[in-house]
């Protein structure tokens, strides 16, 4: 697994992929945080990082599929998938190695945004007047959200040999899981079940964590979604051997 992890990370950073991902992510979030008049934090009048935590999930919708689309699709396209599967590695080791490498790239892109917290904290009146608990909860939510979207992207890449198709499928699956259920819950079809439908979506659990409350039910939800999509990836790889 470590060999796969190292190989994937080297692949990211020996090409422009890793650097472009981080530059695009930091530029996008920076513009929303400090430049665009409708969202820039200096115009709020109080110390908050709400812009970052509300906009990043939508940046993730395109950023993470761009990272994961090549993980398996490129192997299939290049004809190296069969060679990879013949190595002395289990399917799970291959999947987890590629998964962790992709997730680490997401984390590397997110970590520099911590400077926003220290900047806003220093600008607060009085200094340090910022809801640190909510910030911590939101960052944990973003790390877990990145982990979920990465598992979805890995699965999408495993079912096709076309990176563009993998990207589109990943964006679609992530969008449906993130906002689809909350949108469905607003329809007049569910009567007393609307709240349950809303709980099936990622947005519900991410919003709960953004309040600074780390509930075990939210953690269980994120880990369950990750496990489901990684297992679906495993089943898809196993089907090639039948």
Give the pLDDT confidence score for residue 228 in this predicted structure: 95
- pLDDT exceeding 90 applies to what percent of the chain? 33
| pLDDT of 149 higher than 90 | yes
Lowest mean pLDDT among 33-42, 87-96, 110-119, 160-169: 33-42
Q: What is the mean pLDDT of residues 131-158?
A: 91
DSSP per residue, the chain: -HHHHHHHHHHHHSSSHHHHHHHHHHHHHHHHHHT-TTT-GGGTSS---HHHHHHHHHHHHHHHHHHHTTTTHHHHHHT-HHHHHTSS--HHHHHHHHHHHHHHHHHHHHGGGHHHHHHHHHHSSSTT-S-HHHHHHHHHHHHHHHHHHHHHHHHHHHT-S-HHHHHHHHHHHHHIIIIIHHHHHTSTT-GGGHHHHHHTSHHHHHHHHTTT---HHHHHHHHHHHHHHHHHHHHHHHHTT-
| pLDDT of 217 higher than 50 | yes
Q: What is the domain range of residue 64?
A: 2-239
The pTM score is 0.89
Residue 189 has a CB neighbour count (10 Å cut-off) of: 10
| pLDDT of 82 higher than 70 | no
Confidence of residue 5 (pLDDT cuts 50, 70, 90): confident
Q: Of the candidates 166, 169, 207, which has an alpha carbon nearest to the alpha carbon of residue 185?
A: 207
Lowest mean pLDDT among 87-101, 139-153, 178-192: 178-192
Number of structural domains (the chain) is 1
Which tens digit of pLDDT belongs to each residue from 7-23? 778 877 787 777 888 88
Question: Higher-confidence residue: 165 or 182?
Answer: 165
């Amino acid at each position: 697994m470590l060999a796969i992890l190292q190989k994937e990370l080297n692949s990211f950073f020996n090409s422009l992929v890793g650097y472009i991902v981080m530059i695009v992510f930091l530029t996008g979030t920076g513009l929303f945080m400090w430049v665009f008049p409708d969202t820039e934090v200096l115009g709020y009048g109080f110390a908050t990082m709400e812009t970052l935590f509300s906009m990043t999930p939508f940046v993730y919708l395109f950023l993470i599929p761009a990272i994961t689309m090549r993980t398996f699709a490129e192997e299939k396209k290049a004809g190296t998938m069969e060679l990879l599967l013949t190595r002395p590695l289990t399917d799970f080791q291959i999947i987890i190695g590629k998964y962790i490498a992709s997730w680490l790239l997401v984390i590397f892109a997110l970590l520099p945004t911590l400077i926003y917290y220290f900047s806003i904290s220093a600008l607060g009146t009085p200094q340090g007047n910022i809801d640190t608990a909510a910030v911590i909860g939101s960052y944990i939510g973003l790390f877990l959200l990145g982990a979920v979207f990465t598992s979805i992207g890995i699965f999408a890449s495993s079912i096709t040999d076309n990176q563009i198709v993998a990207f589109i499928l990943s964006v679609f699956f992530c969008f449906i899981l993130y906002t689809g259920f909350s949108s469905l819950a607003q329809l007049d079809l569910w009567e007393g079940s609307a709240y349950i439908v809303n709980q099936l979506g990622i947005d519900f659990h991410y919003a709960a964590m953004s309040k600074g409350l780390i509930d075990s039910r939210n953690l269980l939800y994120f880990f369950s979604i990750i496990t489901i999509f990684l297992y679906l990836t495993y089943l898809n790889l196993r089907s090639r051997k039948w």
